[in-house]
Amino acid sequence: MRCLLSIIALAGLTGCIATPPMAPKLDVPKKPLLTKSVYQISYSTELESARIKSVQLPAHPVKSGNTVYIDTSKVSMTDTLRKQIIQLLKDKGLTVVAQKSSDYHLVVQQLDLSFGKDKVYVLNKPEDPHPYIAQLAQTIPSKQCSNIIASLSMRLTHKSSSDVIWFAKSSINSAGYQGIPLQYTFTETEKVANEHAVISYIVEQNQEEARRARYNQSVKIPPYQVESQISPLVKTAGACNKTEVSALTSDMMHYLSKGLIEKLNVLL
């Protein structure tokens, strides 16, 4: 019996001695602080303000409360623009009526929208440009945008005498109407490019066989590699293509109408 216990104890001791020690498990290193930055760039063009010509004759002064009939027989006008002109006349103290027997006739003579020569917008370079902006200055130094020209002319006729007592015309292009540069943003995002490789290395080194192999040995965990990714440009302001520019036409006509009717002198 004593001999048997001695054999078992010796066998256990031999087993302990035969098991090689293992290095401690490696921890996944903490990732570096990553940043995300948004940059803005802009493209500018030469802007032209609305051209307005207005002439009002002293005969038959227009007075607050006078009635006005709007004659649009020479043009094609939307209901929206017609309502806007009616409101502009009301703001002047005039009364818009549906009868041609009014004190005055406001004749809309021209209401045109046409595409003109494209406008070229040039990149505005910041004093301390981001490397990507410096690259854009070489690859996309300018933008070519569609350009719509809006033209509007009116005349006010004294009904009883048929005298034209006021005439005015105005025009503006879509770039001048907007009055702003094209604005774009891009985002620079930092990302760890080799995160999977680092984690795979840790998992591999934490296997028992690898831990035995690196016992009492220093281990150099692969460092994280941080790379920057830049997003495509995203336009945030300004109309450029035909669809975007065409969407401005309603507001452009309202703008011209307001500019012209503001020139009409109405006595209180």
Q: What is the number of H-type helices and E-type strands within the chain?
A: 8, 12
For residue 100, being part of any structural domain is answered with yes
For residue 164, being part of any structural domain is answered with yes
pLDDT in tens, 110-160: 999 999 999 999 999 887 788 999 999 999 999 999 999 999 999 999 999
For residue 20, being part of any structural domain is answered with no
Give the pLDDT score at 4: 45
pLDDT in tens, 17-74: 567 899 999 999 999 999 999 999 999 999 999 999 999 999 899 999 999 999 999 9
For residue 225, being part of any structural domain is answered with no
Number of domains in the chain: 1
For residue 124, being part of any structural domain is answered with yes
Q: Are strands 148-158 and 67-71 parallel, antiparallel or unpaired?
A: unpaired
- Count the neighbouring beta carbons within 10 Å of the beta carbon of residue 40: 12
Give the pLDDT score at 55: 96
Specify the DSSP class assigned to residue 267: B
For residue 215, being part of any structural domain is answered with no
For residue 12, being part of any structural domain is answered with no
For residue 136, being part of any structural domain is answered with yes
Residue 189 has pLDDT above 90, yes or no: yes
List the alpha helices (DSSP H) in 77-205: 79-91, 131-139, 174-178, 195-205
Domain of 191? Answer: 36-200+230-261
Residue 13 has pLDDT above 50, yes or no: no
Give the pLDDT score at 127: 79
Distance CA 19, CA 7 (A): 19
CATH of the domain at 121: 3.30.160
Residue 163 has pLDDT above 70, yes or no: yes
Give the pLDDT score at 173: 96
Burial class (CB in 10 A: 0-12, 13-18, 19+), 43: buried
Residue 6 has pLDDT above 60, yes or no: no
Q: What percent of the chain has pLDDT over 90?
A: 87
pLDDT in tens, 176-187: 999 999 999 999
